[in-house]
Each structure stands twice: as C-alpha cells, then as structure tokens.
Amino acid sequence: MATAEPAVAAAAASAVSAEGSPEGSAKGSGRRDALGPLGLVLAGGISVQFGGALAVTLMPRAGALGVVTLRLAVAAIVLLVVCRPKVRGYSRADWGTIVVFGVTMAAMNGLFYQSLDRIPLGTAVTLEVLGPLALSVLASRRALNLVWAGLALAGVFLLGGGGFSSLDPLGVAFALSAGAMWATYIIFSARTGRRFPQADGLALAMVVAAVVFLPLGIVESGSKLLAPTTLALGASVAVLSSVLPYTFELLALRRLPSSTFAILMSLEPALAATAGFLILDQSLSAMQALAIALVIAASMGAVRTQVGRGKARGLEAEKTA
C-alpha cells in the first residue's frame, strides 16, 4: 500500500466512518483531538514508506519475491493472533471475496516490490498512486475530474522525462500494474469490510496472500529466507509496512472523516521520496520533484471533488425529504 498498501484505506474508511462519522469527531475537544488522528495517519504513512525503503535494502539478501513472502507471512501471523477471526458461518460468496481480495493483495505487493527493485521508491509510489486516482476520477464522472486527470498525466510526463528514457521500462510497467491492483484492492477491500466484522476479513485475506506468494518466494530465495538476519529484517518490513500502518489507520478513522483520510493518503509519494532520500540516497531532480507535486495535487483535487459531490447529494436529499 504502496504500497503500497497503505492501506486498508478504502474499506476501513467506508466501514469505520459509519461508526465514527465526522459528526462524532466534531464532538471532541477541538484542535487537540484533531491532531491525534492526523498524527496517526501521518505516522502510518511514514511507517509504510520507510518500511518500503528497508525492503529495498533487504532485496540483495532475499530477492524481491522473497521480501514480499516474508512481509505477507509475518503480517498474516500477526493479524491472525491479534484479530482471531472466526472461520465458520460464512457463505461461499464471502469466501470468494476473501480469495479474490487475498490474490489481489499478493499481486499488488509482488508487482510493487518488483518495481522497487528497478526504479526509485518515490517514483514507484507516484506511478502506483495513479491507480486509485483513476478509480476516483471514473467513479466521480464530473467534468472537473478531467482537470485532475490532465494534471496527473502532466506529472507522469515530467516524471518520465517525456518518455521514461531515464527509467527502467519494466520497473515503470510493474509500478503501473501495481497501481491497477491497488484500485482493485480498494474495491474488494470495501466488499470485504461489508461482509466481515472488524478486521477479520483482512486477516483471512492476508493468509490467502501469504499462501499464494509462498511458492514464489521459495523458488526465488529458498533457504535464504530462513537466515536469522533475513528473517529479522523481513519481520521489520512486515511490522513497518503492514502491522503498524493498519493499526494507526484503524485507530485514526474512528475520529477522522474518511475524506480527510483520503487526502492525507495523497501525500504518500512525497513521504516515499523522503524515505528514499534518507535511507537509500535516492535524490530527486527539480523536474521529478515537480512531477510528484503535480500528482499529489491531482490526487487531492480528485478527492475533494468527490467529497463535494457527496455533500451536494446530501443537500439534495434533504430538500426532497
């Protein structure tokens, strides 16, 4: 989540905002209460991106597929222990949703980490964000979203130097494919949130993702995955990239409007670029920094447009009631 997987983002936003609406969060003690969930979301984003940077340093030891295997396996174990999801009482359709969600999660992580093995972290996350951005634009169907789409495309054009000649084409393809999986992840994350209580569906889907990826990790890395140092670093990646962000986000969404949460998620490329610079010494040119800023602005604009559309519908419903 950003991967990116930041997320249990959309499902949590849909499910939790029903419990803790913006009205509920407004009943707190003002600015101090607001800083708490905002800090949690930013901490989750920082954790995800620094976890991604740590994963890059682990790839020479375990390979990209091996790192994903360790991340998914450790995250699955932790979520199973914490959530203790029940496995009885669900329909075939429920399990079908879990399987698709898990396979999508595995594909999203696998593709993203393949991109990290070839292109800088900030660039990979910026390209991956285009998936959710495209989903937001298509879901809204407002003319203004064409502006945001154009802004994002301009950012991508600048990021690739007018043709991605300076970037590994395969790395770019992997990042864009991961973005498509992220958009799919959002859809099935929401469906899972409706069918399963709390984070039970996420825990079960993570198990599916880990089982799906395990053979790939074994084929690529074999016994390297069992080396103590590799296991320790892999567990750290899982905690930073999955366990802590999920926990922070779920806590924050109890008091934070989902629209604000979505806007904060738009900052992921900037956080990724920072992590890449501090840990991996991946510096950005002025053009690349401008490109990332354009994609962030487009993502924020699309979210705000969708929120405005939702408020307008609410006012219309009140007038006709």
Instruction: For the chain, give the longest Cα–Cα distance.
Output: 66
Q: Which phi-psi region, left, alpha or beta, contains residue 196 (left: φ > 0; alpha: ψ -120 to 50)?
A: beta
Task: Tell me how far apart the alpha carbons of residues 28 and 31 are, in angstroms, rounded to a whole number.
Answer: 9
Residues 6+ apart with CB under 8 A from 228: none
pLDDT at 160: 63
Of 3, 4, 6, 13, nearest to 193 by C-alpha is 13
Identify whether the C-beta of residue 264 lies closer than 8 Å to the C-beta of residue 45.
Answer: yes
| H runs (alpha helix) in the chain | 9-19, 22-26, 31-83, 92-116, 121-140, 144-159, 169-195, 200-221, 228-238, 244-252, 258-265, 268-280, 286-320
Q: Which phi-psi region, left, alpha or beta, contains residue 84 (left: φ > 0; alpha: ψ -120 to 50)?
A: left
pLDDT at 58: 92
Q: Check residue 76 and give its pLDDT.
A: 93
Q: What is the mean pLDDT of the chain?
A: 78
Question: What pLDDT was estimated at residue 260?
Answer: 64
Q: Are 71 and 206 in contact (CB under 8 A)?
A: no
* 112, 3 Cβ separation under 8 angstroms: yes
Q: Tell me what pLDDT residue 253 has.
A: 65
Q: Which parts of the chain have pLDDT scores under 50?
A: 3-32, 34, 315, 317-318
User: 2 phi and psi, to 5 degrees?
Assistant: 25, 75
Q: What is the pLDDT of residue 236?
A: 92
State residue 25's pLDDT score: 41
Query: How much is the pLDDT for 68?
Result: 92
Rounded to 5°, the CA angle 28-34-39 comes to: 140
